[in-house]
Structures are given as C-alpha cells and as structure tokens.
Amino acid sequence: MTQTTAITPYRSLDNAAGNNELLDTLLAKGPKNDAALARALEVAPPVISKIRHGRLPIGASLLIRMHEVFDVSIRELKRIARAEVAA
C-alpha cells in the first residue's frame, strides 16, 4: 500500500499589509518610487498600485521577477509578504 500526501493549493500572496511591506522592502533596495519599481520589474505601474491596495495578489511570475531583479530569495520574499504587520 502506498502512502499519499495531501497537496495543498498554491497560496497566493494576497495579504495587502504584507505585500506593502514587501514592496517597501524592494523600494529600499534602489528604486525611488512605485513607478521606478514597476519599470525595474517590467510591469505596468497600475499593477504595483493594485497590489498595494489589495486588489491584486502577488503571483508566482512576479515573485520570480522580484527574485531575479533584486537578488532576494523567494523564501525571504514570501516571509516578508506573509508576515503580520503590527497595527
């Protein structure tokens, strides 16, 4: 008899406060504002705005792009985005 493991679906990074923390962390690495961050990540500026306002989660492809551009491990990016932000 073989043992099966439960497969959990991919949890998107849709915590608005955590995503803001992640974007702010990336801004601290060079870009001066969200528009410059969008250019660095090669996405349209409204994408960054939608992520900031909790209307769009950070998907896998954008997470990989953040890793490639800013040389931060994906594990660290996820940790920052999923962290609870103190009120």
Q: Can you give the CATH number for the domain in which 49 is found?
A: 1.10.260.40
Q: Per the domain annotation, does 23 fall within a domain?
A: yes
Q: Per the domain annotation, does 7 fall within a domain?
A: no
Q: Per the domain annotation, does 66 fall within a domain?
A: yes
Is the pLDDT higher at 14 or at 56? 56
> What is the reported pTM?
0.80
Confidence check: pLDDT of 35 > 70 = yes
| Structural domain span for residue 46 | 16-82
- What's the rounded Cα separation, in Å, for the pair 77 and 25? 9
Confidence check: pLDDT of 46 > 50 = yes
Handedness of CA 80, 72, 42, 38 (dihedral sign): positive
What is the pLDDT of the chain when averaged over all its residues?
86
Q: Per the domain annotation, does 42 fall within a domain?
A: yes
The domain tally of the chain equals: 1
Q: Per the domain annotation, does 52 fall within a domain?
A: yes
Q: Per the domain annotation, does 11 fall within a domain?
A: no
